[in-house]
Structure 1
C-alpha cells in the first residue's frame, strides 16, 4: 500500500504534541473542535490524519473529544480493553502505510471493566465462556507478577496491559521498520475518568 502523502509531514513527536495539547484544552474546558457537520463536510474529500488511536469501547472515553481533535485528524480503533486481534492490528498498519500516520497511541483507562473482570477471573481461576473469555485470555498475561490481593491490582494490570499492547504493536514487521527509521512511533497512555487527564507513558 502507498501512503497518501509522499513524505510524512508530521513527525511522531509532533503528532504526540498535538494530542497532549488537545488533552490540555479538553481538561481546561477550552476545546477548539466540536462535532460540526460543516467541518465534517470540509474533510469529506480526503483525509490526512496524523495519528491512529487504539482505545477501549468504554462509553466514557470518547477519544476524539479527549484529545480535542477535529474531523480528519485521528483514526480511532476500539475494542474491549484495547485487546489486539488481527483486524485491529491490520487497522493500525493500514493507518500507517496507506494514510501516512506517524503515531500509534494505545490508550487504557482507569477502572476498566474488562481488566477488572480479568483480575477477578484470574483470582478465582474461572474464565468466562465465549468471546468474553477471549478478551480475558488476552488481558490475563498482564496480571502475571501483580499481587492480586493488592487493592490497586486492577490499576496495576491496566498499566501493564497498555505497555504490553504497545510492545506487541512495536514488534510487528510492518511497524518495526518504520519505527527504526524514526518515521513512526507507538506510545502508551492512561486516561483518568475523574479528571480527564491523559498520562503518557515513557517507553524505551
Structure 2
C-alpha cells in the first residue's frame, strides 16, 4: 500500500470524513489545483486491493466525470451511474455491495444541472405522454422520473431544475430505506447525501 493510500484510509473512515474529502476535492477541482493526475503509477499502487471511502452515484452524462469533479485518485471512490441516477435492482445491489464488502462510509447521489433525461421527461409529460405505457427502455427512465417532475410542476422555465433537485432528494430517501443500508445509517457507520453539480462553474452543491 502506498503512503498516500495508507494516510487516506486512516483519515477517511467516517461519513463526515468522507464527505469532507469530497468537498475538499471539489474545491481543488474548481480552483484549478487538482492533487491527482491519474497516471499509471497511481493505478499500480491500488492494483491489488481497494478501500474506497465513498460510493458516488451519478448520471451517465459525459460532462460529469465523477472522479474528476471531486479530484479523487485510483481506489478512493467507487462509482455507479445511470441516466439521471435512476435506481434499479442492479444498482441497489451494487451500492449495497460497496457498503457491505468495500466498507464505504458515504453514498453520495449527484444530479446535475441541465440533465437531459429530466428535461426529456418534463417535455414528455407536457406533451401528455402516458406514464407506464409500452415506450421501450428509454420510457422506463421517463416512468421513474415522472414523480419528481410532477412534484416540481410542469409550469415555468425552472421546472426542469426543480425536478433535478427533487429527483436527487427522492433517490437519497429511497436509498436511506434500503434494507442493509438503513441499518448501517442507524448505526452511524454510513450516510447517504445528495448533491447537484453545476456544469458551468464546476461547483457541487450539497443538499440539506
Q: Distance in 1 between matches of 2:203 and 2:194?
A: 14
Look up the match of 1:153.
Answer: 159
Match runs of 1:161-172 below 5 Å: 161-172=167-178
> Is 1:132 equivalent to 2:138 in the alignment?
yes
Q: Distance in 1 between matches of 2:35 and 2:99?
A: 26
Q: Distance in 2 between matches of 1:103 and 1:34?
A: 24
Q: Distance in 2 between matches of 1:9 and 1:159?
A: 27
Aligned-pair Cα RMSD in Å: 1.5
Q: Distance in 1 between matches of 2:196 and 2:42?
A: 29
In structure 2, list runs of 5 or more residues that go unmatched. Answer: 1-10
Q: Over residues 149-174 of structure 1, what are the superposed CA-to-partner deviations in whole Å (9 max), with x where a residue is unaligned?
A: 21000000000000000001000011
Look up the match of 1:5.
Answer: none
The 8 Å contact of residues 28 and 35 in structure 2, kept in 1 or not, is answered as: yes
Match runs of 1:35-74 below 5 Å: 35-74=38-77
CA positional deviation for 1:32: 0.3
The 8 Å contact of residues 14 and 190 in structure 2, kept in 1 or not, is answered as: yes
Moved over 6 A (4+): none
Q: Over residues 157-192 of structure 1, what are the superposed CA-to-partner deviations in whole Å (9 max), with x where a residue is unaligned?
A: 000000000001000011000100000000000000
Of the three residues 104, 107, 121, the one matched with 1:104 is 107
Q: TM-score, length-normalised on structure 1?
A: 0.93
CA positional deviation for 1:147: 2.8
CA positional deviation for 1:21: 0.1
Match runs of 1:1-204 below 5 Å: 10-126=13-129, 129-202=135-208
In structure 1, list runs of 5 or more residues that go unmatched. Answer: 1-7
CA positional deviation for 1:129: 1.7
CA positional deviation for 1:9: 6.1
Greater mean alpha carbon deviation, residues 147-156 or residues 65-74: 147-156
